Amino acid sequence: MLGGLAGAIALNLVHEYARKRFKDAPAVNRIAEGGIAKVANTFGQPSPTPEVKYGMAMTGDLVANTFYYSTIAKEEGGNIWLRGLCIGLIGGLGALFLPKQVGLDDTPVTRTPLTKVLTVAWYTIGGVVAAATVQALRRQQQQG
């Protein structure tokens, strides 16, 4: 789980830093916020305030991506770097293509070609960070 948490934190840090500084940066949090509003409306509840939606989106993102990236550590054998790269790449592609499939606005991650590339790149960074963390933890276990 620590490797997954490291990958999720890396993804969120890159996302938040760039989202506040670059116009073409993906805004993955907006997709989650839209999902939160949609669920609230489905149950006849008002949409939470923007601050609450943001907090819920970031918390949900951190939890979901921790579990997602923790799959990198599932197997002992094989190339952990390749697993991290592939899991990150698949996560980024999923972030591009799944929102529309579940009825959410995908514009925050698809509005420009650069936004699409950055979305995939950031999820890939998360996968690589998770792989590096898992590898470091395994080395530490072997030595101690």
C-alpha distances (whole Å) from 2 to each of 64, 94, 106, 112, 137 are 13, 23, 30, 33, 9
**Cα 14 to chain centroid, rounded:** 10
Query: Is pLDDT of 70 > 90?
Result: yes
Domain positions in the chain are 2-143
**Band of the pLDDT at 111, cuts 50, 70, 90?**
very high
Residue 8's pLDDT band, with cuts at 50, 70 and 90, is very high
pLDDT at residue 77 is higher than 80:
no
What is the average pLDDT across 36-52? 93
